[in-house]
């Protein structure tokens, strides 16, 4: 038996193993030291409170201003702003889609705006930032074939100042969730909080970029389009202003209330269960973003099986695209067909 024969024989393995592999939902391994660290942090907090509470009672709290790096809520322009700090630069999911060069259709930025049906007035919200010309080194266009339809349409709009020292990149896609932020369990996901800008709930992450500059990142789904908005070296105030303008320009919150406290329900069929990660994956439709991943409390995932019809009730918008985190979950119930 040679290598090629072994390689060919692997093609004969049990189909069930292949399907299980395809449906596998990966979650960052739980780190026990994080739990102990949390306990230690709580103890420290309690001790700190005991010694400092009397002082706080006598001194008025300092004002929280936009632009600080606190995770406390701030309120520029009557919005509720929470910043979720990540300890390190996060990783982003990669798309494994194969592109056929013969299917490429070039598009200008204007054509892309028409294609998505969106508009941006970031220049009005943050005058220093201007839409940059397309980078000719990158493929600016979509991939479409008669058999596959439009199968790749990701495009990034870049807004930067004249010196290119500050920038915002807005990546949109109708067909694939890419790039998407991957937040590990060591990021205290239970404490992730949503901001509400213009009546629309979003989760804003802050982290130090490659060269130490401050980055903010938000991703959300609206009207079948995935938005990923990342800033480099921009102040919190300017990022919030830009994000608010994107929401005001493109999200109809009157038609579909989607505030941080609004409750939503989704009904669908369980297509994968990951007991280790306490995660179930649910098919909720036929579109590009038809899978909703729901993190459940410890030990509850095993109560569900592939094929179950479930109804999920949650608060706010998915923290990351198509993902309901445990803290958002109000209830999940099995329903009859």
Binding residues for other proteins, per CB under 8 A? 1, 4-22, 24, 26, 28-29, 91, 94, 96-101, 147-149, 151, 182, 184
CB of 215 to other proteins, least distance (A): 20
CB of 96 to other proteins, least distance (A): 5
Helices (H), 155-293: 236-250
Cβ distance to other proteins smaller for residue 14 or 110: 14
Burial 60-91 (b: 16+ CB within 10 A, else e): eeeeeebeeeebeebebeebbbbbbebeeeee
d(CA 194, CA 201): 6
Structure tokens, 337: 């067909």
Contact 172, 118 (CB under 8 A): yes
Contact 177, 93 (CB under 8 A): yes
CB of 193 to other proteins, least distance (A): 24
CB of 81 to other proteins, least distance (A): 30
Cβ distance to other proteins smaller for residue 52 or 91: 91
CB of 22 to other proteins, least distance (A): 6
CB of 312 to other proteins, least distance (A): 21
Cβ distance to other proteins smaller for residue 17 or 53: 17
Contact 318, 264 (CB under 8 A): no
Cβ distance to other proteins smaller for residue 141 or 198: 141
d(CA 123, CA 172): 18
Contact 324, 312 (CB under 8 A): yes
Structure tokens, 180: 């998407």
DSSP 106-155: E--HHHHHHHHT----HHHHSTT-EEPPP-TTS--EEEEETTTEEEE--E
CB of 10 to other proteins, least distance (A): 5
Cβ distance to other proteins smaller for residue 19 or 165: 19
Cβ distance to other proteins smaller for residue 110 or 286: 286
Cβ distance to other proteins smaller for residue 33 or 51: 33
């Amino acid at each position: 038996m040679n290598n090629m024969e072994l390689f060919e024989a692997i093609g004969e393995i049990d189909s069930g193993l292949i399907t299980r592999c395809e449906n596998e939902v990966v979650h960052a391994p739980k780190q026990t030291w994080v739990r102990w660290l949390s306990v230690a942090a709580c103890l420290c907090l309690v001790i700190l409170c005991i010694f400092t509470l009397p002082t706080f009672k006598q001194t008025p709290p300092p004002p929280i201003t936009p632009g600080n790096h606190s995770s406390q809520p701030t309120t520029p322009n009557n919005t509720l702003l929470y910043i979720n700090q990540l300890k390190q630069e996060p990783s982003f999911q990669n798309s494994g889609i194969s592109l056929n060069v013969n299917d490429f259709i070039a598009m200008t930025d204007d054509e892309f705006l028409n294609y998505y049906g969106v508009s941006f007035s970031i220049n009005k919200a943050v005058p220093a930032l201007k839409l940059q010309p397309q980078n000719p080194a990158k493929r600016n266009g979509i991939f479409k074939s008669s058999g596959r339809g439009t199968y790749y349409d990701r495009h990034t709009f870049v807004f930067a100042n004249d010196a290119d020292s500050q920038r915002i990149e807005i990546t949109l896609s109708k067909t694939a969730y890419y790039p998407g932020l991957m937040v590990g369990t060591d990021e205290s996901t239970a404490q992730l909080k949503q901001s509400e800008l213009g009546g629309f709930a979003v989760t804003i992450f802050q982290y130090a970029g490659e060269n130490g500059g401050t980055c903010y990142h938000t991703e959300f789904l609206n009207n079948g389009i995935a938005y990923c908005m990342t800033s480099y070296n921009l102040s919190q105030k300017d990022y919030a202003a830009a994000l608010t303008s994107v929401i005001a320009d493109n999200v109809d919150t009157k038609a579909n209330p989607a505030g941080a406290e609004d409750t939503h329900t989704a009904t669908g069929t369980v297509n994968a269960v990951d007991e280790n990660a306490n995660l179930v994956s649910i098919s909720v439709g036929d579109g590009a973003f038809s899978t909703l991943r729901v993190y459940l409390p410890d030990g509850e995932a095993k109560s569900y099986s592939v094929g179950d019809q479930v109804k999920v009730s949650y608060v706010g918008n998915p923290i990351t695209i198509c993902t309901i985190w445990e803290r958002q979950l109000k209830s999940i119930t099995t329903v009859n067909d």
